[in-house]
Amino acid sequence: MDNISLVTLKCSSCSASLQISDKLDRFICNYCGTEHALLHNSGGFFFRRLEEKLDNLEKATEKGNAELAIKRLRSDLATRTHQLEVMVSEREDLMTLLAGRRADAVTSIIVTAAFQAAILAINFPLSIYAFAQVVVVANIFYQMSQINNIQKERQKTSEIFRPELERIRDDINILEIKIRKKVKLADS
């Protein structure tokens, strides 16, 4: 029969005195139930609670998950940022188009008014003057209605784009906060 040598240790959780065989790799404290690992190290012994290993493993897993989450969140952030840029660009293009149409309408009104002034300066017969006056007034009303339609389109465009742009900006802010939290978790 082999000689069994006993090692006297204290439990790291409850400080109870323990006597165990030096051949064991693991043991459980009879008082508190904490499981320990007995590590043989060049003639000496030391032990560590197994929960510490599990805690370290859990921290490593959380760090790995945080790093993966950071990649996914950054990808989501890039996607939403690109969507924001596209929507802003579309909105600016539409507003530029509407501004161009408005400028054309104003120019047409000015040209028509100049044409009317020229007709007044030259003594045309009354029938030609009356016809020109009707054309000028009709053109001015038409162009004013165009300007009114353009204003309505600009308002409608703003109402369509504003909520979506705000939603995207909110998503971007939330993603940035989540990334900061995950980076903090990964660094700890």
Domain range annotation of the chain: 6-41, 57-187
Strands 44-49 and 26-28 turn out to be unpaired
Report whether 24 contacts 35 (CB < 8 A). Answer: no
Report whether 161 contacts 93 (CB < 8 A). Answer: no
The answer for residues whose C-beta is within 8 angstroms of residue 125's C-beta and 6 or more apart is none
Q: Residue 14's pLDDT is what?
A: 75
Residue 169 is inside which H or E element, if any? helix 126-187
Class of domain 57-187: mainly alpha
Residues of the chain with pLDDT under 70: 1-7, 21-24, 38-60, 185-186, 188
Global pTM value: 0.46
Q: Residue 1's pLDDT is what?
A: 47
Report whether 60 contacts 41 (CB < 8 A). Answer: no
Per DSSP, the chain holds a count of helices (H) and strands (E) of 2, 5
Q: Residue 38's pLDDT is what?
A: 66
| Distance in angstroms (rounded) separating the CA atoms of residues 27 and 5 | 15
Report whether 66 contacts 186 (CB < 8 A). Answer: yes
